[in-house]
């Protein structure tokens, strides 16, 4: 193990790529602590301390993906969320807009065009989100603690040009993050955007664990670490699990050459949807809380019954009804997203075109029906696994006084394990190219 790690740093090209990736990570984390112009950093810290950083739902997730930069109103406040949202939207539009599907099938040139559309959409979403963030910060509702005087004075200048400068600064920060990610993908190790997401989540790890130690002591602290190691092992096991459907290709003569006659398989992962269903479910559950937040009564008035009901059951995340809705939404969105990203009819047609077939299954429509049968049944345990992992932070919130960014559950653990596995595989592949012996054995 240690000899393999030593080979990584003794390989000049690999050492240069890792060094470049670490440099971008340092710059990214430095930018997350530079406040946006006209933001009172002292009042921001006082408001965070008074609120206990007790944000819920989608706002907590955005803050997690920005490495805590969102609630500090830094120049990188929006983090990678505009890019993630734009990527998901473009992917979903492939089903709705035929031109997008045509571009996707054109290969590298078409996908480069889709990437360009994603960049434009990222900037548009960053403008929208930064405008919303500045407006909410000015109103004192950013952390849901409008009674605190510090939360009412986060922005030091209410002039229109000052607000415009804040919006443009945050939007430019999103564009810079997108450029950093592309640089890491091109000159570093791994997928750049995934690495930056990993960095943002890992940055919140020490604070989340220390909060548990302060509130519950060393015994619970070490117990949580032990349980976390078990959870990581289970997540790695499920993320690597797949159903391999055998495929045989018939031999065919083209001129004097023989093609085909090989055996391969179609790997269908237990968790094909990744973390997207968790993001969808969190976003949908945050909408009622957002509507209720903008319908708060004036001082002395009684809140409407529906506002009170939402505040009790759909805001704090510690009620069993919230857990049940969250779990069911994740299961539903998992089936929805898998149905969009994996088309059994298209796979069956491609197999038939190249002379492939599944043993015992006729080519064409029977193959598509068989693939759909397998996919439907393997998605059930995958969706339940996603739902249970996503509930871990909510359960930890009410049992060990963890915060919403509890590192051993939800999107945190799924992203960290997924990105970690993919990065190690890339390092292993590059080592094998140079030393015939990789990092993994």
Query: Each residue of 287-344: pLDDT tens digit?
Result: 777 777 666 666 666 777 777 777 777 766 667 788 888 889 999 989 988 888 888 8
Q: Which residues pair with 269 in a beta bridge?
A: 242
Percent of the chain residues past pLDDT 70, beyond the cut: 79
- Considering the domain architecture, whether residues 102 and 198 belong to the same structural domain is answered as yes
Question: Is the per-residue pLDDT at 177 higher than 80?
Answer: yes
Question: Is the per-residue pLDDT at 54 higher than 50?
Answer: no
- Considering the domain architecture, whether residues 187 and 57 belong to the same structural domain is answered as yes
Side-chain half-sphere exposure of 149, counting CA atoms within 13 A: 0
pLDDT band at 127; cut points 50, 70, 90: very high
Question: Is the per-residue pLDDT at 146 higher than 60?
Answer: no
Domain presence at residue 440: no
Average pLDDT for 91-110:
81
Residue with tokens 């809140």: 303
- Considering the domain architecture, whether residues 93 and 219 belong to the same structural domain is answered as no
Q: What does the alpha-carbon distance between residue 312 and residue 436 come to, in Å, rounded to a whole number?
A: 60
The predicted-structure confidence for 247-257, as pLDDT tens digits, reads as follows: 887 766 666 66
Question: Is the per-residue pLDDT at 64 higher than 70?
Answer: no
Domain presence at residue 423: no
Check residue 362 and give left, alpha or beta (phi > 0: left; psi -120 to 50: alpha): beta
Q: What is the CA radius of gyration of the chain?
A: 24
Q: Which residues pair with 245 in a beta bridge?
A: 266
- How high is the pLDDT of residue 440? 56
- Considering the domain architecture, whether residues 118 and 213 belong to the same structural domain is answered as no
Domain presence at residue 404: yes
- Considering the domain architecture, whether residues 11 and 100 belong to the same structural domain is answered as yes
Average pLDDT for 86-104:
83
Domain presence at residue 421: no
With beta carbons less than 8 A apart as the criterion, state whether 183 and 192 touch. Answer: yes
Domain presence at residue 416: no
Listed in sequence order, the DSSP H helices in 241-316 are: 276-293, 305-313
pLDDT band at 123; cut points 50, 70, 90: very high
Domain presence at residue 382: yes
Q: Reduced to 3 states, what is the DSSP secondary structure of residue 55?
A: coil
Side-chain half-sphere exposure of 432, counting CA atoms within 13 A: 10
- How high is the pLDDT of residue 197? 83
With beta carbons less than 8 A apart as the criterion, state whether 382 and 269 touch. Answer: yes
pTM, two decimal places: 0.77
Question: Is the per-residue pLDDT at 218 higher than 50?
Answer: yes
- How high is the pLDDT of residue 172? 92
Backbone angles phi, psi at 144, to 5 degrees: 65, 25
Average pLDDT for 105-129:
87
Q: What does the alpha-carbon distance between residue 132 and residue 135 come to, in Å, rounded to a whole number?
A: 5
With beta carbons less than 8 A apart as the criterion, state whether 38 and 75 touch. Answer: no
- How high is the pLDDT of residue 38? 81
Q: Which residues pair with 252 in a beta bridge?
A: 259
pLDDT band at 124; cut points 50, 70, 90: very high
Domain presence at residue 427: no
Domain boundary pick from 203, 232, 258: 203
With beta carbons less than 8 A apart as the criterion, state whether 81 and 109 touch. Answer: no
The pairing of strands 263-269 and 242-249 is: antiparallel
With beta carbons less than 8 A apart as the criterion, state whether 370 and 358 touch. Answer: yes
Residue with tokens 């000015």: 138
- Considering the domain architecture, whether residues 160 and 259 belong to the same structural domain is answered as no
Task: Tell which residue, 29, 65, 35, has the closest CA to residue 134.
Answer: 35
- Considering the domain architecture, whether residues 309 and 360 belong to the same structural domain is answered as yes
Q: In this predicted structure, which of 39-53, 171-185, 190-204 has the lowest mean pLDDT? A: 39-53
Question: Is the per-residue pLDDT at 400 higher than 70?
Answer: no
Average pLDDT for 92-110:
81
- Considering the domain architecture, whether residues 189 and 213 belong to the same structural domain is answered as no
Domain boundary pick from 203, 218, 235: 203
Q: In this predicted structure, which of 7-21, 123-137, 249-263, 378-392 has the lowest mean pLDDT? A: 249-263
Instruction: For Cα atoms 140, 131, 390, give the angle at the middle one, nearest 5 degrees.
Output: 75
Q: What does the alpha-carbon distance between residue 37 and residue 330 come to, in Å, rounded to a whole number?
A: 38
Residue with tokens 């190219």: 433
- Considering the domain architecture, whether residues 339 and 210 belong to the same structural domain is answered as yes
Which helix (DSSP H) or strand (DSSP E) does residue 258 occupy? strand 257-259
- Considering the domain architecture, whether residues 210 and 198 belong to the same structural domain is answered as no
- How high is the pLDDT of residue 229? 86
Q: What does the alpha-carbon distance between residue 293 and residue 164 come to, in Å, rounded to a whole number?
A: 25
- Considering the domain architecture, whether residues 15 and 154 belong to the same structural domain is answered as yes
Look up the domain containing 270 and give its range: 206-408
Task: Check residue 151 and report its DSSP letter.
Answer: G
Average pLDDT for 371-389:
90
Q: How many independent structural domains does the chain possess?
A: 2
Question: Is the per-residue pLDDT at 55 higher than 70?
Answer: no
Residue with tokens 């990092």: 439
Select the highest-mean-pLDDT range: 100-104, 146-150, 175-179, 403-407: 175-179
- How high is the pLDDT of residue 50? 62
- CATH classification at residue 116: 1.10.3370.10
Q: What does the alpha-carbon distance between residue 47 and residue 297 come to, in Å, rounded to a whole number?
A: 22
- Considering the domain architecture, whether residues 238 and 219 belong to the same structural domain is answered as yes
Backbone angles phi, psi at 7, to 5 degrees: -65, -30
Domain presence at residue 285: yes
Task: Tell which residue, 390, 275, 272, 285, has the closest CA to residue 335.
Answer: 272
Q: Find the length of the chain.
A: 441
pLDDT band at 204; cut points 50, 70, 90: confident
Q: What does the alpha-carbon distance between residue 117 and residue 111 come to, in Å, rounded to a whole number?
A: 10
Domain boundary pick from 203, 228, 243: 203
Average pLDDT for 167-194:
88
């Amino acid at each position: 193990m240690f000899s393999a790690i030593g080979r990584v740093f003794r390989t000049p090209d690999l050492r240069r790529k890792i060094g470049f990736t670490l440099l971008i990570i340092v710059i990214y984390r430095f930018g997350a602590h530079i406040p946006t112009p006209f933001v009172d950093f002292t009042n921001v810290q006082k408001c965070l301390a008074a609120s206990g950083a007790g944000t819920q739902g989608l706002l907590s997730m955005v803050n997690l993906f920005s490495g805590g930069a969102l609630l500090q109103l830094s120049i990188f406040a929006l983090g990678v969320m505009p890019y993630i949202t734009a990527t998901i939207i473009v992917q979903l539009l492939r089903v709705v807009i035929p031109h997008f599907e045509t571009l996707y099938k054109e290969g590298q040139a078409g996908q480069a065009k889709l990437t360009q559309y994603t960049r434009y959409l990222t900037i548009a979403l960053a403008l929208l989100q930064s405008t919303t963030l500045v407006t909410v910060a000015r109103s004192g509702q950013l952390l849901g603690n409008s009674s605190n005087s510090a939360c009412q004075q986060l922005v030091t200048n209410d002039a229109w040009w000052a607000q415009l400068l804040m919006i443009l600064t945050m939007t430019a920060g999103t564009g810079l993050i997108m450029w950093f990610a592309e640089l890491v993908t091109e000159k570093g190790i791994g997928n750049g955007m995934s690495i930056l997401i990993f960095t943002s989540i890992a940055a919140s790890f020490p604070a989340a664990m220390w909060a548990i130690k302060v509130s519950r002591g060393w015994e619970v602290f070490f117990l949580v670490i032990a349980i976390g190691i078990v959870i990581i092992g289970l997540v790695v096991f499920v993320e690597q699990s797949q159903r391999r459907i055998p495929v045989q290709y018939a031999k065919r003569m083209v001129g004097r050459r023989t093609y085909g006659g090989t055996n391969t398989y179609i790997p269908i992962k237990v968790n094909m949807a990744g973390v997207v269903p968790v993001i969808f479910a969190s976003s949908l559950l945050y909408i009622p809380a957002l509507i209720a937040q903008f319908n708060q009564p004036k001082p002395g008035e009684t809140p409407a019954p529906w506002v009170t009901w939402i505040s009790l059951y759909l805001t704090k995340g510690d009620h069993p009804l919230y857990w049940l809705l969250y779990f069911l939404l994740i299961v539903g969105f998992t089936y929805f997203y898998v149905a969009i990203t994996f088309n059994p009819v298209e796979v069956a047609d491609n197999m038939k075109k190249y002379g492939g077939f599944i043993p015992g299954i006729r080519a064409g429509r029977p193959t598509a029906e068989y693939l759909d049968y397998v996919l439907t049944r393997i998605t059930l345990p995958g969706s339940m696994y996603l739902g249970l992992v996503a509930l871990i932070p909510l359960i930890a919130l009410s049992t060990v006084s963890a915060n919403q960014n509890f590192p051993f559950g939800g999107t945190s653990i799924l992203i960290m394990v997924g990105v970690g596995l993919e990065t190690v595989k890339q390092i292993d592949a590059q080592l094998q190219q140079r030393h015939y012996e990789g990092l993994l054995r």
